[in-house]
Amino acid sequence: MVKYQILFLLPLLALITISHPASGAIFTESGLVDIPTGRVLKHGIFGAGPYLSFQQRTMEGFPTTNLGNTVAIRLNFGLFDRVEVGLEHLWNEHNSEPSTERAVNLKVQLLKEQEVGVIPSVAIGIENLGDKLFSGEENENLSAFFAVSKTFNLPRIHQFSGHIGVGTQRFAFGENPIGLFVGLSKEFQPAFARGDITMNLEFDGAGVNAGMRYITSSGLQVALGAETLNSPEELQYLAAVSWTNERLIDQIDETRRLIKQATRLAIEAKRAVSGGSK
């Protein structure tokens, strides 16, 4: 079933194109809709797949979907449980002039949140290290950020995560060189979904964004969202499909844990039998 889902969704995303590319990599494994968090991917964990955005404009009183000609493919992976690297390749056709762009995103975790404690996850990073990195030209899209994330456990609401940070360029407000971004995320595990659903709400330098991400037990991720909800004339719809090996690694670790536990119980039972026979 999962194989047929992938075969159906990937061509669909390839056919739909973008009128205005998202301001950053959307729905990354450690991020929300369009903002980074203080968390990074664990060592050896990766996520890969395409993402897109498209706008709906009103022409002569009727809403029309404005499709452009850009496709984006990304790969994010974690190193040493402290570093996350993101690679992006975009194919653009703006004003009938085709072009390609490549970008590298880098995030380093300074503090890691523990299951019990008050210390949050803290990370710094740089986005859009692209083709101009070694050319000596100024990169106007280069964005630096500092992000903090913390999980809270409240009555009725149970666990949810709060995120806050500051950044330059795409996070900035108007003419200000730096801006603030905030976000909330909440995970659900409904029995009917056979996977995890995460709801996100955030505010960045452009406006209010909202999204939903569904992660199956096989690692397939499908995400839908919208940007700049506060400005209907600039509203953008977002979609992403990717696959991560995190669930597979978790299943392997759980299998190893069960094998170790079974081995320990077998050894203890053998010792008990040996002791009783004496």
The model's pLDDT over 198-253, given as tens digits with 9 standing for 90+, comes to 999 999 877 899 999 999 988 999 999 998 888 887 788 888 999 999 989 988 98
Task: Provide the pLDDT confidence category of residue 195 given band limits of 50, 70 and 90.
Answer: confident
pLDDT by residue (tens digit) across 131-175? Answer: 555 444 555 668 999 999 999 988 777 889 999 999 998 888 878
Average pLDDT over residues 46-59: 77
Task: Provide the pLDDT confidence category of residue 181 given band limits of 50, 70 and 90.
Answer: very high
Please report whether residue 31 resides in a domain: yes
Alpha-carbon dihedral 216, 217, 219, 225, rounded to 10 degrees: 20
Does 67 or 104 have the greater pLDDT score?
Answer: 104
C-alpha distances in angstroms, 219 versus 30, 242, 248?
14, 8, 7
Task: Provide the pLDDT confidence category of residue 3 given band limits of 50, 70 and 90.
Answer: very low
Do 97 and 113 meet the contact criterion of CB atoms below 8 Å apart? no
Task: Count other Cβ atoms within 10 Å, centred on residue 218.
Answer: 18
C-alpha distances in angstroms, 14 versus 21, 41, 76, 227?
14, 26, 19, 21
**44 HSE (CA, 13 A, CB side):** 5
pLDDT value of position 52: 84
For residue 121, pLDDT beyond 50: yes
Intra-chain end-to-end CA distance of the chain, in Å: 56
Amino acid at 32: L
Please report whether residue 143 resides in a domain: yes
The CATH number given to whatever domain includes residue 112 is 2.40.160.40
pLDDT by residue (tens digit) across 6-49? Answer: 333 333 333 333 334 445 678 899 999 999 999 999 999 999 99
- pTM value is 0.78
pLDDT value of position 96: 59
In whole angstroms, what is the distance from residue 105 CA to residue 116 CA?
A: 30
Do 86 and 102 meet the contact criterion of CB atoms below 8 Å apart? no
Q: How many domains does the chain have?
A: 1
Please report whether residue 60 resides in a domain: yes
Reduced to 3 states (helix: H, G, I; strand: E, B; else coil), residue 150 is strand
Percent of the chain with pLDDT over 90: 42
For residue 185, give its domain range: 2-244
Percent of the chain with pLDDT over 70: 77
Please report whether residue 270 resides in a domain: no
Instruction: Find the range with the poorest average confidence among 175-179, 183-187, 221-225.
Output: 175-179
Please report whether residue 47 resides in a domain: yes
pLDDT by residue (tens digit) across 11-21? Answer: 333 333 333 44
Task: Provide the pLDDT confidence category of residue 93 given band limits of 50, 70 and 90.
Answer: low
